[in-house]
Amino acid sequence: MIRDTSSGTNGNGAVDLDSNVREPDTKARALRGGKNTPGFIPSRVCIHGFRATAWTLVSALLFAGLLSSCSDGGKTAADKDTAEPVFPVTVTHVITSNISSKLSVSGTVAALPNQDVRVSSQVAGRVDHLAAAVGDAVRNGEILATIDSQSYRQRLAQAEAAVSQAQANLSNAEFAESRDQTLFERGIVAKKYLEADKAQAAVAQGAVKQMQAALALAQINLARTQVRSPIAGLVVKRFVSDGEQVNGTAAEPIYEVADLHEVELYANVPATYFSQIHVGETLPVTTDALPGKTLHGQIVAISPSVDPTTNIGIVRIRMANPAGALRLGMYLSANIAIEAHQNVLVIPLEALYRNASNRAEVYRIEGQWALATPVEVGIATNNRAEIVSGVHDGESIVLSGAYGFGARTQVKVQP
């Protein structure tokens, strides 16, 4: 048995067994072996060094394992924190379809030219009676109001008397002329008297004509005390009441009457679109007053001039109104077709996004990724957009949920 003593140490602190233990003989030495002896077994110094090296190696391995464990644990936590998120999106497909660009215009209902009139009295006086109310249908020539006619009847009687007097004076002048003509032929009366009679007869003739004109004017003024509708239509407004005084001018109307069997929309349109609008073109017209109902209008005229300040002109759009559903002043909207493209790539407008540079793009679906793809946009309406380049027919693209996406984003398609 080999013993280890504390006194046998070398300069390195290792026990030098050879200095304290001697082998009894050569045989034992041979059994131990030496440097030059086959089957040499290292001394206990080497064994001790091996033990120290082993412990050092074990310690290093344990430390490395601890570091590895800590490193692995930190990496797992970081992975959990920095793992790329998955965003839910809905998708649609690029299709081939027709699309048209439309100009939305609006305005109010107006009657046709010369079919909306303000009816005034042509003579001054007190309103004796109003025969129509707002909303009443009236015929052409129907009496709407009556002005007090008493003074006009008196004037008529006066004019009639003046005519009678003038005619009597004319008869006397003509008789005197006839008489003096006979006497002149017989040489009894001088020619100057005959000439005077002729002049007097001519004056009397003029007076008769003058009185007859005054009589006709009195008759007209009396007739004007009955205010009549100049057109057939509906009473739109009434401006006075019974007993009120009117001055007999257009500045003081009594009624407004309009024929609404056909109406027009006066639309303000920028002059830049005039070359794309054509007389005779039909277009849909809508109004909030008739929800769910689409009317059909036709462009009947395009203004030959524009406002130099706004560069806007008037486009007249005419519509039939047989049931009278459209009323004066009602707000209308119309869509005028400006440009149309056939068999082009179309996507929902919701699927069109804008990047930080405000350029149009879509997000194509490739597997579980949404890829930002720049596109060129053609015609765009309020719910669809034409894609000129960047995608192909049938491709899947993100419809909703892509706001804030980068160039490549992991997504989950929602049903």
Predicted confidence (pLDDT) at residue 30 exceeds the cutoff of 80: no
b or e along 15-24 (b: 16 or more beta carbons within 10 Å of the residue's beta carbon)?
bbbeeeeeee
Question: What would the pLDDT profile of 167-186 be if each residue is shown by its tens digit?
Answer: 998 888 888 878 878 877 88
Place 4 in a pLDDT band, splitting at 50, 70 and 90: very low
Place 189 in a pLDDT band, splitting at 50, 70 and 90: confident
Question: What would the pLDDT profile of 202-243 be if each residue is shown by its tens digit?
Answer: 898 999 999 999 999 999 999 999 999 999 999 999 999 999
Strand partners, 374: 361
Place 187 in a pLDDT band, splitting at 50, 70 and 90: confident
Neighbouring C-beta atoms of residue 408, cutoff 10 Å: 12
Question: What would the pLDDT profile of 33-56 be if each residue is shown by its tens digit?
Answer: 444 444 444 444 443 444 444 445
Rounded to whole angstroms, how far apart are CA atoms 75 and 321? 77
Distance of CA 75 to the CA centre of its chain: 55
Whole-number pLDDT of residue 69: 45
Strand pairing class (87-93; 408-413): parallel
Is the model more confident about 78 or about 216?
Answer: 216
Comparing C-alpha atoms, which of 367, 315, 277, 304 is closest to residue 86? 367
Among all chains, which residue has been given the structure tokens 């057939």?
A: 232
Predicted confidence (pLDDT) at residue 26 exceeds the cutoff of 50: no
- Supply 406's token pair: 């980068």
Q: Mean pLDDT lowest for which of 15-19, 238-242, 339-343, 386-390?
A: 15-19
- Supply 353's token pair: 């996004």
Strand, coil or helix: 125: strand
Is the model more confident about 81 or about 406?
Answer: 406
pLDDT, mean over the chain: 83
Place 190 in a pLDDT band, splitting at 50, 70 and 90: confident
Comparing C-alpha atoms, which of 233, 94, 225, 82 is closest to residue 149? 225
Rounded to whole angstroms, how far apart are CA atoms 106 and 102? 13
Q: What is the DSSP annotation of 67-123?
A: HHHHHHHHHHHHHHHHPPP-EEEEEEE-EEEEEEEEEEEEEEEEEPTTSEEEEE-SS
Whole-number pLDDT of residue 319: 94
b or e along 282-310 (b: 16 or more beta carbons within 10 Å of the residue's beta carbon)?
ebebbbeeeeeeebebbbeebbeebeeee
Q: What is the mean pLDDT of residues 96-121?
A: 93
Rounded to whole angstroms, how far apart are CA atoms 88 and 313? 49
pTM for this prediction: 0.60
Whole-number pLDDT of residue 191: 81
Cβ 145 vs Cβ 121: under 8 Å: yes
Cβ 399 vs Cβ 363: under 8 Å: no
* Segments in 225-258 forming alpha helices (H): none
- Supply 339's token pair: 């440009």
Question: What would the pLDDT profile of 281-304 be if each residue is shown by its tens digit?
Answer: 999 999 988 888 899 999 999 999
Angle at 229 between CA 227 and CA 233, to 5 degrees: 150
Rounded to whole angstroms, how far apart are CA atoms 178 and 167? 16
Whole-number pLDDT of residue 82: 54
401-to-68, 79, 93, 122, 363 alpha-carbon distances in Å: 41, 25, 15, 71, 10
Comparing C-alpha atoms, which of 348, 401, 398, 394 is closest to residue 373? 398
Q: All domains of the chain, ordered by start, with CATH?
A: 1-75 (no CATH), 87-99+341-413 (2.40.420.20), 103-110+259-340 (2.40.30.170), 121-255 (no CATH)
Whole-number pLDDT of residue 40: 43
Rounded to whole angstroms, how far apart are CA atoms 196 and 181? 11
Predicted confidence (pLDDT) at residue 100 exceeds the cutoff of 50: yes
Strand partners, 384: 348
